[in-house]
Structure 1
Amino acid sequence: MEILDEFDINIIKELEKDGRMAFSAIASNLKISNTMVHQRINRLIEQGIITGIKPTLNEKKIGYDWGAFTGITLKKDHDSERVIEALKNIPEITECYFITGQYTLYIKMIAKDHEHMRKLLYEQIDNIPGIAKTDSLIELGCAFKRNVSL
Protein backbone atom coordinates (compact mmCIF):
# COMPACT_ATOMS: atom_id res chain seq x y z
CA MET A 1 0.00 0.00 0.00
CA GLU A 2 1.35 3.41 -1.00
CA ILE A 3 1.76 5.75 1.96
CA LEU A 4 1.51 9.03 0.02
CA ASP A 5 -0.79 9.57 -2.90
CA GLU A 6 -0.79 12.44 -5.39
CA PHE A 7 -3.03 14.60 -3.16
CA ASP A 8 -0.76 14.14 -0.12
CA ILE A 9 2.34 14.98 -2.17
CA ASN A 10 0.76 18.12 -3.62
CA ILE A 11 -0.45 19.27 -0.19
CA ILE A 12 3.06 18.79 1.24
CA LYS A 13 4.57 20.72 -1.68
CA GLU A 14 2.20 23.62 -0.99
CA LEU A 15 3.16 23.61 2.71
CA GLU A 16 6.86 23.60 1.78
CA LYS A 17 6.32 26.84 -0.14
CA ASP A 18 4.72 28.45 2.93
CA GLY A 19 3.98 26.50 6.12
CA ARG A 20 1.56 29.25 7.21
CA MET A 21 -0.58 28.91 4.10
CA ALA A 22 -4.28 28.67 4.94
CA PHE A 23 -5.95 25.33 4.24
CA SER A 24 -8.45 27.20 2.08
CA ALA A 25 -5.61 28.59 -0.08
CA ILE A 26 -4.12 25.11 -0.49
CA ALA A 27 -7.56 23.75 -1.41
CA SER A 28 -8.05 26.53 -3.94
CA ASN A 29 -4.60 26.05 -5.51
CA LEU A 30 -5.11 22.28 -5.81
CA LYS A 31 -8.81 22.52 -6.71
CA ILE A 32 -9.89 20.23 -3.87
CA SER A 33 -12.10 20.81 -0.83
CA ASN A 34 -10.94 22.58 2.31
CA THR A 35 -12.20 19.57 4.31
CA MET A 36 -10.01 17.21 2.29
CA VAL A 37 -6.92 19.36 2.92
CA HIS A 38 -7.69 19.49 6.65
CA GLN A 39 -8.25 15.71 6.87
CA ARG A 40 -5.14 14.89 4.84
CA ILE A 41 -2.87 17.17 6.88
CA ASN A 42 -4.24 15.75 10.15
CA ARG A 43 -3.64 12.19 8.88
CA LEU A 44 -0.09 13.05 7.76
CA ILE A 45 0.61 14.49 11.22
CA GLU A 46 -0.93 11.45 12.98
CA GLN A 47 1.20 9.12 10.82
CA GLY A 48 4.33 11.10 11.71
CA ILE A 49 5.03 12.00 8.07
CA ILE A 50 4.64 15.70 8.88
CA THR A 51 6.35 16.25 12.22
CA GLY A 52 5.44 19.87 12.64
CA ILE A 53 4.88 23.13 10.88
CA LYS A 54 7.24 25.63 12.44
CA PRO A 55 9.50 28.48 11.42
CA THR A 56 13.01 27.76 10.18
CA LEU A 57 15.34 30.24 11.82
CA ASN A 58 18.32 31.83 10.12
CA GLU A 59 20.69 31.38 13.06
CA LYS A 60 23.19 33.93 11.74
CA LYS A 61 20.50 36.67 11.69
CA ILE A 62 19.86 36.15 15.42
CA GLY A 63 23.52 36.30 16.48
CA TYR A 64 24.74 32.69 16.14
CA ASP A 65 27.69 33.13 13.76
CA TRP A 66 29.44 29.84 14.55
CA GLY A 67 28.33 26.30 13.80
CA ALA A 68 30.04 22.97 14.38
CA PHE A 69 29.51 19.31 13.73
CA THR A 70 30.85 17.26 16.61
CA GLY A 71 31.44 13.54 16.81
CA ILE A 72 31.04 12.16 20.33
CA THR A 73 32.78 9.02 21.57
CA LEU A 74 31.22 7.47 24.65
CA LYS A 75 33.04 5.55 27.37
CA LYS A 76 30.29 2.91 27.11
CA ASP A 77 27.66 2.87 24.36
CA HIS A 78 24.96 1.81 26.80
CA ASP A 79 25.29 5.31 28.35
CA SER A 80 23.87 6.84 25.15
CA GLU A 81 20.33 7.51 26.43
CA ARG A 82 21.61 9.29 29.54
CA VAL A 83 24.10 11.32 27.47
CA ILE A 84 21.40 12.24 24.94
CA GLU A 85 19.15 13.51 27.74
CA ALA A 86 22.02 15.72 28.98
CA LEU A 87 22.68 16.99 25.43
CA LYS A 88 18.98 17.92 25.09
CA ASN A 89 19.48 20.36 27.98
CA ILE A 90 21.97 22.41 25.94
CA PRO A 91 19.81 24.66 23.72
CA GLU A 92 22.63 25.41 21.28
CA ILE A 93 22.66 21.74 20.20
CA THR A 94 20.14 21.68 17.36
CA GLU A 95 20.54 18.10 16.05
CA CYS A 96 21.77 14.78 17.39
CA TYR A 97 22.21 11.54 15.44
CA PHE A 98 23.20 7.95 16.12
CA ILE A 99 25.88 7.05 13.58
CA THR A 100 28.17 4.20 12.61
CA GLY A 101 31.95 4.48 12.58
CA GLN A 102 34.31 5.88 15.14
CA TYR A 103 31.68 7.95 17.00
CA THR A 104 28.49 6.93 18.76
CA LEU A 105 26.71 10.27 18.34
CA TYR A 106 27.06 13.20 15.96
CA ILE A 107 25.67 16.62 16.90
CA LYS A 108 25.15 19.98 15.22
CA MET A 109 25.53 22.98 17.45
CA ILE A 110 25.57 26.73 17.06
CA ALA A 111 27.34 29.45 19.02
CA LYS A 112 27.52 33.23 19.04
CA ASP A 113 31.31 33.35 18.71
CA HIS A 114 34.43 31.25 19.23
CA GLU A 115 34.45 31.82 23.00
CA HIS A 116 30.84 30.67 23.25
CA MET A 117 31.75 27.56 21.19
CA ARG A 118 34.74 26.84 23.46
CA LYS A 119 32.55 27.07 26.55
CA LEU A 120 29.92 24.77 25.03
CA LEU A 121 32.54 22.16 24.19
CA TYR A 122 34.82 22.32 27.23
CA GLU A 123 32.51 23.46 30.02
CA GLN A 124 29.26 21.75 29.08
CA ILE A 125 29.61 18.86 26.64
CA ASP A 126 32.96 17.52 27.91
CA ASN A 127 31.58 17.56 31.48
CA ILE A 128 28.70 15.20 30.68
CA PRO A 129 29.43 11.90 32.46
CA GLY A 130 29.97 9.10 29.95
CA ILE A 131 31.56 11.19 27.20
CA ALA A 132 35.09 10.02 26.47
CA LYS A 133 36.02 12.34 23.60
CA THR A 134 34.69 14.92 21.16
CA ASP A 135 35.95 15.82 17.70
CA SER A 136 34.58 18.98 16.06
CA LEU A 137 34.49 20.41 12.55
CA ILE A 138 33.65 24.10 12.23
CA GLU A 139 30.86 24.83 9.76
CA LEU A 140 31.63 27.65 7.29
CA GLY A 141 28.12 28.06 5.88
CA CYS A 142 25.29 25.95 4.55
CA ALA A 143 25.39 25.44 0.78
CA PHE A 144 21.79 24.15 0.88
CA LYS A 145 19.28 22.46 3.16
CA ARG A 146 16.10 20.83 1.97
CA ASN A 147 13.55 18.10 2.38
CA VAL A 148 13.71 14.99 0.25
CA SER A 149 12.03 15.54 -3.12
CA LEU A 150 8.54 14.03 -3.43
Structure 2
Amino acid sequence: MKATLDDLDARILNLLQEDSRRAYGDIGRQVGLSTTAVKDRIDKLRDRGVLENFSVSVSVGKAGFDVVAFILVGIDRPADCALFEKQVLAVPEIQECHHVAGAFNYLLKVVTRNLSSLEHLLSTRIKMPDVVSRTETTIVFSSVKSRGMLDCTLALE
Protein backbone atom coordinates (compact mmCIF):
# COMPACT_ATOMS: atom_id res chain seq x y z
CA MET A 1 0.00 0.00 0.00
CA LYS A 2 1.48 3.30 -1.08
CA ALA A 3 1.61 5.92 1.66
CA THR A 4 0.24 9.29 0.72
CA LEU A 5 2.31 12.19 1.98
CA ASP A 6 1.63 15.86 1.70
CA ASP A 7 4.35 18.51 1.64
CA LEU A 8 4.24 19.09 5.41
CA ASP A 9 4.50 15.36 6.19
CA ALA A 10 7.47 15.04 3.83
CA ARG A 11 9.25 18.02 5.37
CA ILE A 12 8.61 16.74 8.91
CA LEU A 13 10.01 13.30 7.98
CA ASN A 14 13.12 14.88 6.47
CA LEU A 15 13.72 16.92 9.64
CA LEU A 16 13.28 13.85 11.85
CA GLN A 17 15.76 11.87 9.73
CA GLU A 18 18.34 14.60 10.27
CA ASP A 19 17.79 14.48 14.06
CA SER A 20 15.13 12.24 15.55
CA ARG A 21 15.49 14.03 18.90
CA ARG A 22 14.45 17.36 17.40
CA ALA A 23 11.74 19.04 19.50
CA TYR A 24 8.22 19.34 18.10
CA GLY A 25 8.39 23.11 18.63
CA ASP A 26 11.56 23.35 16.51
CA ILE A 27 9.96 21.29 13.76
CA GLY A 28 6.83 23.45 13.95
CA ARG A 29 8.85 26.65 13.52
CA GLN A 30 10.57 25.21 10.44
CA VAL A 31 7.39 23.98 8.75
CA GLY A 32 4.93 26.61 9.99
CA LEU A 33 2.82 24.50 12.37
CA SER A 34 2.06 24.54 16.09
CA THR A 35 3.75 22.07 18.41
CA THR A 36 0.44 20.22 18.84
CA ALA A 37 -0.11 19.99 15.08
CA VAL A 38 3.40 18.57 14.60
CA LYS A 39 2.83 15.97 17.33
CA ASP A 40 -0.50 14.99 15.76
CA ARG A 41 1.08 14.59 12.31
CA ILE A 42 3.96 12.50 13.70
CA ASP A 43 1.49 10.30 15.60
CA LYS A 44 -0.54 9.80 12.39
CA LEU A 45 2.62 8.99 10.40
CA ARG A 46 3.52 6.39 13.03
CA ASP A 47 -0.03 4.95 13.08
CA ARG A 48 0.01 4.62 9.26
CA GLY A 49 3.38 2.83 9.38
CA VAL A 50 5.19 5.56 7.42
CA LEU A 51 7.36 6.39 10.43
CA GLU A 52 8.65 3.03 11.63
CA ASN A 53 10.85 4.02 14.57
CA PHE A 54 13.25 6.49 16.07
CA SER A 55 16.79 5.16 16.16
CA VAL A 56 20.41 5.94 16.93
CA SER A 57 23.20 5.66 14.37
CA VAL A 58 26.32 4.04 15.84
CA SER A 59 29.77 4.48 14.30
CA VAL A 60 30.80 0.93 13.38
CA GLY A 61 34.55 1.50 13.64
CA LYS A 62 34.44 3.59 16.81
CA ALA A 63 32.28 0.93 18.47
CA GLY A 64 34.97 -1.70 17.88
CA PHE A 65 33.80 -3.37 14.67
CA ASP A 66 36.50 -3.41 12.00
CA VAL A 67 34.78 -5.41 9.25
CA VAL A 68 31.74 -4.61 7.16
CA ALA A 69 30.96 -7.10 4.42
CA PHE A 70 28.24 -7.81 1.89
CA ILE A 71 27.48 -11.47 1.31
CA LEU A 72 25.48 -12.88 -1.57
CA VAL A 73 23.75 -16.14 -0.65
CA GLY A 74 22.47 -18.72 -3.12
CA ILE A 75 19.82 -21.27 -2.22
CA ASP A 76 18.81 -23.89 -4.80
CA ARG A 77 15.55 -25.12 -3.29
CA PRO A 78 12.91 -22.41 -2.73
CA ALA A 79 11.51 -24.41 0.19
CA ASP A 80 14.78 -23.77 2.07
CA CYS A 81 14.36 -19.98 1.96
CA ALA A 82 12.09 -19.89 5.03
CA LEU A 83 14.65 -21.87 7.05
CA PHE A 84 17.43 -19.52 5.96
CA GLU A 85 15.37 -16.42 6.80
CA LYS A 86 14.66 -17.81 10.27
CA GLN A 87 18.41 -18.29 10.81
CA VAL A 88 19.13 -14.74 9.61
CA LEU A 89 16.78 -13.28 12.22
CA ALA A 90 18.75 -15.05 14.96
CA VAL A 91 22.17 -13.66 13.95
CA PRO A 92 22.92 -10.21 15.37
CA GLU A 93 25.92 -9.61 13.11
CA ILE A 94 23.59 -9.60 10.10
CA GLN A 95 22.47 -6.00 9.88
CA GLU A 96 20.40 -6.32 6.72
CA CYS A 97 18.98 -9.15 4.65
CA HIS A 98 17.41 -8.51 1.25
CA HIS A 99 15.71 -11.06 -0.99
CA VAL A 100 17.07 -10.16 -4.43
CA ALA A 101 16.77 -11.05 -8.10
CA GLY A 102 19.66 -12.51 -10.07
CA ALA A 103 22.09 -15.38 -9.64
CA PHE A 104 21.78 -15.26 -5.84
CA ASN A 105 18.73 -15.21 -3.58
CA TYR A 106 19.84 -12.94 -0.72
CA LEU A 107 22.13 -10.02 -0.08
CA LEU A 108 23.35 -9.65 3.49
CA LYS A 109 25.13 -6.78 5.17
CA VAL A 110 27.19 -8.01 8.10
CA VAL A 111 29.33 -6.25 10.68
CA THR A 112 31.97 -8.14 12.67
CA ARG A 113 34.88 -7.35 14.99
CA ASN A 114 37.55 -8.67 12.63
CA LEU A 115 38.24 -11.02 9.72
CA SER A 116 38.47 -14.03 12.01
CA SER A 117 34.97 -13.37 13.37
CA LEU A 118 33.69 -12.90 9.80
CA GLU A 119 35.17 -16.26 8.82
CA HIS A 120 33.56 -17.89 11.86
CA LEU A 121 30.19 -16.27 11.09
CA LEU A 122 30.30 -17.48 7.49
CA SER A 123 31.27 -21.03 8.33
CA THR A 124 28.97 -21.56 11.32
CA ARG A 125 25.90 -19.35 10.85
CA ILE A 126 25.52 -18.42 7.17
CA LYS A 127 26.77 -21.41 5.16
CA MET A 128 24.04 -23.73 6.38
CA PRO A 129 24.75 -27.28 5.15
CA ASP A 130 22.04 -28.65 2.85
CA VAL A 131 20.43 -25.17 2.62
CA VAL A 132 22.96 -22.66 1.27
CA SER A 133 24.51 -23.77 -2.00
CA ARG A 134 26.92 -20.88 -2.54
CA THR A 135 28.08 -17.54 -1.16
CA GLU A 136 30.13 -14.63 -2.43
CA THR A 137 31.62 -12.16 0.06
CA THR A 138 32.73 -8.60 -0.59
CA ILE A 139 34.64 -6.84 2.20
CA VAL A 140 34.27 -3.07 2.52
CA PHE A 141 37.53 -1.08 2.67
CA SER A 142 35.81 2.25 3.33
CA SER A 143 32.40 3.82 2.89
CA VAL A 144 31.69 7.01 1.01
CA LYS A 145 28.05 6.94 2.09
CA SER A 146 26.66 4.33 4.43
CA ARG A 147 23.36 5.70 5.68
CA GLY A 148 21.41 7.78 3.27
CA MET A 149 18.48 9.95 4.19
CA LEU A 150 15.31 9.24 2.24
CA ASP A 151 14.22 12.58 0.75
CA CYS A 152 10.49 12.24 1.33
CA THR A 153 9.70 15.26 -0.87
CA LEU A 154 10.68 13.13 -3.89
CA ALA A 155 7.54 11.03 -3.30
CA LEU A 156 5.48 14.16 -4.01
CA GLU A 157 6.69 14.52 -7.61
Long gaps (5+) in structure 1 = none
Runs of 4+ displaced beyond 3 Å:
none
Q: Is the 8 A contact 2:14 2:150 kept in 1?
A: no
Q: 1:133-148 maps to which residues of 2 (within 5 A)?
A: 133-144=134-145, 145-148=147-150
Distance 1:17 1:128 in 2: 43
- Give me the whole-angstrom Cα distance separating, in 1, the residues matched to 2:99 and 2:19: 31
8 Å CA contact retained: 1:66, 1:111 = yes
Bigger RCO of structures 1 and 2 (CA < 8 A, at least 6 apart): 2
What is the Cα deviation at residue 77 of structure 1?
1.7
Whole-angstrom CA distance in 1 between matches of 2:129 and 2:40: 44
Question: What residue in structure 2 maps to residue 43 of structure 1?
Answer: 44
State the distance in 2 between where 1:13 and 1:77 align: 38
Point out where structure 2 has 5 or more consecutive residues left out of the alignment: none
CA contact (8 A) 1:79 1:130 kept: yes
**What TM-score do the two structures reach when normalised by structure 2?**
0.88
Aligned length in residues: 150
**Which range is displaced more, 75-84 or 122-131?**
122-131
User: Which residue does the alignment assign to 2:106?
Assistant: 105
Contact 1:83–1:129 (8 Å) recurs in 2:
no
Q: Counterpart in 2 of 1:67?
A: 68
**TM-score between the two structures when normalised by the length of structure 1:** 0.91
Q: Name the % identity.
A: 23
CA contact (8 A) 1:97 1:105 kept: yes
- With over 3 angstroms needed to count, the CA separation of the structure-2 counterparts of 1:117 and 1:147, relative to structure 1, is same
